[in-house]
Homo-oligomer: A and B are copies of this chain.
Amino acid sequence: MIIQLEKNLTAEQKAVLKDKLKDIKYTINEVKTQNGHYLIGIGKQEFDIRSIGTLPGIRDIHRVSDAFKLVSKKWKVEDTSIDLGDGIKIGSGQFTVMAGPCSIETEEQIDKTINHLLQNGVRIMRGGVYKPRSSPYSFRGLGIEGLKLWHQKARTAGIKIITEVMMTEQIDAMADYVDIFQVGARNSQNFNLLDALGKVDKPVLLKRGISGTLEELLQAAEYIFSNGNEKIMLCERGVRSYENAYRNMMDINGIALLKDKTHLPVIADPSHGIGLRRYVDKVALASIMAGADGIIMEVHEKPEKAFSDGQQTLSFPEAKRLYSRMNQSYRLRESFEMDLVQGLF
């Protein structure tokens, strides 16, 4: 159960409420976020929702039987919109593109990518400075110095930065240079990292685990939310499967389901979702028709020379063509939704 509390709730009122929940043997989690103040009650006993809901100090009360609570659409039906400033918003009717290289490599690469984004109206740049790599002997990123250089150039150009954070110790140092913290697939259930990101006032893009379930992804988001940060995006990036014809199996079903279960924006990553440049466009367009609020994709001036992930990275001309197609596809999807709103169906 989720109880939304009034802002001016008194300590006494809260105590009464907590007693009431203890009476029906519910454990209580008190959550304060940027936007609200909640009591999350976990229990199994049946109860009369009115007997609690009419107590003073309560704004609203909802039964939520899902394994996740605050990220569920069952209590918050309107979609969440995340504001990055400078007129850039994600979710709730906005279509977002985030593009850039797998790894931040050189100053020249940053310049060329920013230039490409500016020419195409893309406002958010992706890129890794801390790279999770299977082997300790692989390139692991330029680190904080690379981030600072990138930030300086991006700010000047009016471009926002999304980049991966791998450990709690990095958060503070990175926070000034990052617009969206990305949690990678391998850290999707790194609960301490999620806890810590819940205490930051920055948006977080949370990738699905390598074979994570949708429920696990939503519960991982619940970690961030219940620690105080409501600005969360979920990212479908394909899952591991028995099929070896491509890198990951993009879970288009997952996008459709997530959009139905949660109010959080859902971003699709077609680059990792199939892992082969030749098909990234089709997977991106399919993701949009399945309901994605945005696309995060890998682009590089010379994909074949990229330090990592070159085989799934688009060249600038390929990306340009895709931006246009994505916009058209999104507009078509919007028109379907409009029909619904206008009662045409």
Residues of A within 8 A of B (CB): 27, 29, 40, 42, 67-69, 132-137, 166-169, 186-187, 189-193, 195, 209-211, 213-216, 219, 222-223, 226-227, 238-246, 249-257, 260, 273-274, 278-279, 282-283, 285-291, 317, 321, 325, 328-329, 332-333, 335-336, 345
Contacts and interface: CB of A to CB of B under 8 A. Distances in A.
A222 B283 CA distance: 27
A196 B68 CA distance: 32
B242 A286 contact: no
Contacts of A227: 136
B253 A246 contact: yes
Most central of A210, A216, A321 by chain B CB within 10 Å:
A210
Contacts of A253: 238, 243, 245-246, 249-250, 273-274, 279, 283
Contacts of A238: 253
A80 to B, nearest CB: 18
A32 to B, nearest CB: 14
A219 B133 CA distance: 10
Contact of A241 (B169, B216, B242, B332): B242
Contact of A282 (B244, B249, B290): B290
A190 B190 contact: yes
Contacts of A186: 189-191
Most central of A136, A213, A336 by chain B CB within 10 Å:
A136
Given A135-B222, A279-B256, A289-B286, A328 B321 contact: no
14 contacts: A136-B223, A136-B226, A137-B226, A168-B169, A214-B243, A239-B243, A245-B253, A245-B254, A250-B252, A252-B252, A256-B282, A256-B283, A286-B287, A329-B332
